[in-house]
Amino acid sequence: MPATLEYLRPQTLGEALMLLRRSDVRTVPLAGGTWLVPRLRRDVEVSDPLADRVDAVVDLADLGLDGIDLEGEPGVGWVALGATATLTQVAESLICREVAGGILAQAAQRAAPVNQRNAATVAGATLSASSQSELLLALLVLEGQIVVNDGEPRAMSLHELLADPGQLAGGLATAVRVPWPAARVGGGLARVARTPGDAPIVAVAAAVDGAGRRLAVGGVAAAPLRLHLAADEDLERALNAALDGVELLSDWQGSSEYRRALALVLSQRALDAAAG
Ligand SMILES: Cc1cc2nc3c(=O)[nH]c(=O)nc-3n(C[C@H](O)[C@H](O)[C@H](O)COP(=O)(O)OP(=O)(O)OC[C@H]3O[C@@H](n4cnc5c(N)ncnc54)[C@H](O)[C@@H]3O)c2cc1C
């Protein structure tokens, strides 16, 4: 880590925002640290080091943002996951196990080994996620929003934030939330990884409700691919059209052709799980 890295642990949201807004000290939020801390160390080789670009970290642990709650009423309310709730809390939450076939809880459980799940947080896992993160895919397919406070609280859709992460600059994510459905929403996840403990090569989350079928496909392009299928729309045709519109990933884990083939098989599996 930089010799002069400043560690700050505010007790209130207002104090945290004030520290993050200092123009003369490059300050970033610190949640579970599982992504950030290795990047602040000089003795660890990482692909995107931050040690020369960060002067101070603001630890969010004492801000009381770790609840998992139902807000409002079904149909108009939210399933709200506090920014600093850990992946273990999400995996064990009865609310997260219940909503949309429990895909939020399942995705959190699969995201990382137990010691990492105990530290990594909802906001950290969402904001630093790779395109094949099943938690991110589950949040996207459930039309997730992120609640940001940069002086005033505001909510924005998660996919808008992913398209333009600059919208978060100087602000703090205080929660990630998905609509609290009035009627049943089916949910399903499907993945292929080299081993059960590895991050997936390609992963898919699906949600099925009265409005149709929604898919989020990760590991095929730099960002997750989102599809909304009408009740009678052909999956293969719609998926191929969407894949034709993006630059497909290809690396040692799988060629673009392999990922395209997996995307179709896994989309069908995730939809079957959601319908079941
Ligand atoms: C060995 C290993 C394996 C991993 N495997 C996977 C995997 O399979 N799938 C996967 O998706 N990830 C994986 N990760 C990545 C990592 O676990 C996640 O990205 C992690 O969930 C980050 O959460 P955190 O709370 O530790 O965030 P931190 O590391 O504390 O922060 C991550 C980033 O988010 C920002 N941030 C955090 N909270 C907020 C907030 N409230 N508001 C604004 N900005 C915020 C931080 O400033 C930082 O830029 C792996 C990491 C390791 C070390």
Q: Which residue ranges form the domains of the chain, and what is each CATH number?
A: 6-59 (3.30.43), 68-179 (3.30.465.10), 186-275 (3.30.390.50)
Q: Compute φ and ψ for 92, nearest 5 degrees.
A: -95, -5
Say what the pLDDT of residue 129 is. Answer: 78
Cα of 119 from ligand 1 centre, angstroms: 9
**Mean pLDDT over residues 110-130, rounded?**
93
Cα of 24 from ligand 1 centre, angstroms: 25
State whether the beta carbon of 268 lies less than 6 angstroms from ligand 1: no
* Contacts for 203 with CB less than 8 Å, ≥ 6 apart: 132, 133, 134, 137, 189, 190, 191, 192, 217, 218, 219, 266
Cα of 31 from ligand 1 centre, angstroms: 8
**Mean pLDDT over residues 99-103, rounded?**
96
User: Which numbered atom of ligand 1 lies nearest the CA of 37?
Assistant: 29
Say what the pLDDT of residue 276 is. Answer: 86
Residue 207 confidence (pLDDT) above 90: yes
State whether the beta carbon of 173 lies less than 6 angstroms from ligand 1: yes
State whether the beta carbon of 254 lies less than 6 angstroms from ligand 1: no
Predicted confidence (pLDDT) per residue in 219-237, tens digit: 999 999 999 998 789 999 9
Residue with the nearest Cα to atom 10 of ligand 1?
133
Say what the pLDDT of residue 253 is. Answer: 94
Q: What confidence category does residue 3 fall into, taking pLDDT thresholds of 50, 70 and 90?
A: low
Cα of 115 from ligand 1 centre, angstroms: 13
User: Which numbered atom of ligand 1 lies nearest the CA of 57?
Assistant: 47
Round the average pLDDT of the chain to a whole number and report it: 94
**Mean pLDDT over residues 192-206, rounded?**
94
Cα of 233 from ligand 1 centre, angstroms: 36
- pTM for this structure? 0.94
Residue with the nearest Cα to atom 28 of ligand 1?
33
Return the best residue to mutate from 21, 26, 35 for the ligand 1 pocket (most ligand atoms within 8 A of CB).
35
**Mean pLDDT over residues 259-273, rounded?**
98
